[in-house]
Structure 1
Amino acid sequence: MTKRLSPIKLENYKPLREIVFETLREAIINGTLKPGERLMEVQLAEEMGVSRTPVREAIRKLELEGFVVMVPRKGAYVAGISIKDIADVFEIRAALESLAAGLAAERITEEELEELERLLVQVAECTESNDLEKLIEIDTRFHDILYKASRNERLVQIISNLREQIQRFRSTSLAFPGRMKETLEEHKKIVEALSERNVALAQALAAEHIENAENSMLEALREGNISRERNSITE
């Protein structure tokens, strides 16, 4: 495996094992560590400048979160993902995002609503300039504010974990023809429902937004932009 990970920079407020875990998870999400790739503890530890212990702990945690699979007598591998996996994640996300939006409609602050409005302007700019990378960043911030506004930390953690499991494929969904513009319109409707404190409407719109994102991703899959099945090593 070619060296691609940077040495760990210690942060006083985080345990080393947590920093190693986050580093490896991000490498999987952004594609630095690819589906089906074997994770060698010794090499990863050397690249990050740490011992094998925090790497081993991080791999175990990544397995629990679905990012890594352990193959008997072979070792740890970056998990692949299939159409069924994506559909399962989106099915759960649609229900949880609906719950978060409903709670947010009751609990969101005026400051948070204003921040969402500002993000809508930025989404429109990205859509106009076709800046996909920036749009993904703003879309993530938009949903993070929505989750925070639910005032339910456990719910935020669960949704964030699900989202991260398919984060590496978000660009495929948003790059699908017409999806960027649709995302903007869907976000606008959600913000309007939140502003009106309309719980039922916010729930329905949030669920619809996630379902539309799923449809775009699955359509991209059908066109062959992503492998239909897991890498065989992860089965």
Structure 2
Amino acid sequence: MDVKDLLTKGSHLFDQVHDLLWDMIIKGEIKPGERLKDSDWSVRLNLSRTPVREAMRKLQQEGVLLPLAAGGYQVRAVSNNDLSELYTCRAALESMATELASQRMKSQDLARLAETIYAADEAIDAEELDKAFALNSSFHKQILELADNGHLNFLSETLNKLVLFYRSALLNRVKSDPQLISAYQDRLRIKQDAHRAIVAAMVAGKHKEAGDLMREHVLLSITELTTQ
């Protein structure tokens, strides 16, 4: 299917173009380092340049596209230094969120977290990598929701756009090389153990310990992502 056929009349073209480009980047159809021009994409999508230009500007604001001096944009490359700085910030925010969530968690919240962990276990064993990826993200999102702090959530959402970008780049590399799948599954299982330890600390009322475990868990991802 041609990409222009994915656009509808149901919402603003600017939003649709943004979501289309973001989805293609996340899936690896537009790769890190690739150059984009609004003039080229307006022709490809059979649109005026305005919605395409605005969509690309938003992706720039989100840190996914970098402006080029000669015009147009380049998809951010997967830089180890940027990743390390990003995950250091993420670790601090999610540690705080976990401590708050631990203080506010109710039995139904525990059940939801447990279901997510169990479903992720099944997806990993079945080699359903996209599903396992989504469930891993869901676990962290549930923690942020339980924290119930609007400012913390806003800051985390800003970071998580780039977090998703980096994590997707790793997943796309794994999916392109079957030899990497087993090692990737092993790393996911280690993450699952960390999730279980975090929830166990929350259940035990060890709020600070839960936050510390989350910080360690996120920081360990730096080594994983920078050694690929």
- Bin of the TM-score, shorter chain as denominator length: 0.7 to 0.9
SS at match of 2:6: coil
Q: Name 2:121's counterpart in structure 1.
A: 124
Gaps of 5+ in 1: 221-235
Q: CA deviation at 1:170?
A: 4.4
Q: In the alignment, is the contact (CA less than 8 A) between 1:176 and 1:216 conserved in 2?
A: no
Structure 1: distance between partners of 2:4 and 2:134: 22
Structure 2: distance between partners of 1:162 and 1:193: 25
Q: In the alignment, is the contact (CA less than 8 A) between 2:127 and 2:185 conserved in 1?
A: no
The structure in which a higher percent of residues are helix is 2
Structure 1: distance between partners of 2:100 and 2:16: 31
Gaps of 5+ in 2: 175-180
Paired amino acid for 1:128: D
Structure 2: distance between partners of 1:30 and 1:182: 24
Is the aligned partner of 1:167 residue 2:188?
Answer: no
Report the TM-score when normalising by structure 1.
Answer: 0.81
Q: In the alignment, is the contact (CA less than 8 A) between 1:116 and 1:142 conserved in 2?
A: yes
Q: CA deviation at 1:135?
A: 0.8
Is the aligned partner of 1:143 residue 2:151?
Answer: no
Q: Name 2:6's counterpart in structure 1.
A: 7
Q: CA deviation at 1:106?
A: 1.8
Q: CA deviation at 1:145?
A: 1.0
SS at match of 1:178: helix
User: Which of 190, 194, 198 is residue 186 of structure 1 equivalent to?
Assistant: 194
Over the aligned positions, Cα root-mean-square deviation in angstroms equals 2.3
Identity %: 27
SS at match of 1:130: coil
Is the aligned partner of 1:63 residue 2:71?
Answer: no
Q: Deviations over 1:99-125 (max 9, x none)?
A: 111111122343222111111111221
Structure 1: distance between partners of 2:170 and 2:34: 20
Q: CA deviation at 1:6?
A: 4.6
Count residues with an aligned counterpart: 216
Paired amino acid for 1:167: R
Alignment of 1:191-210 (within 5 A): 191-210=199-218
Paired amino acid for 2:202: L
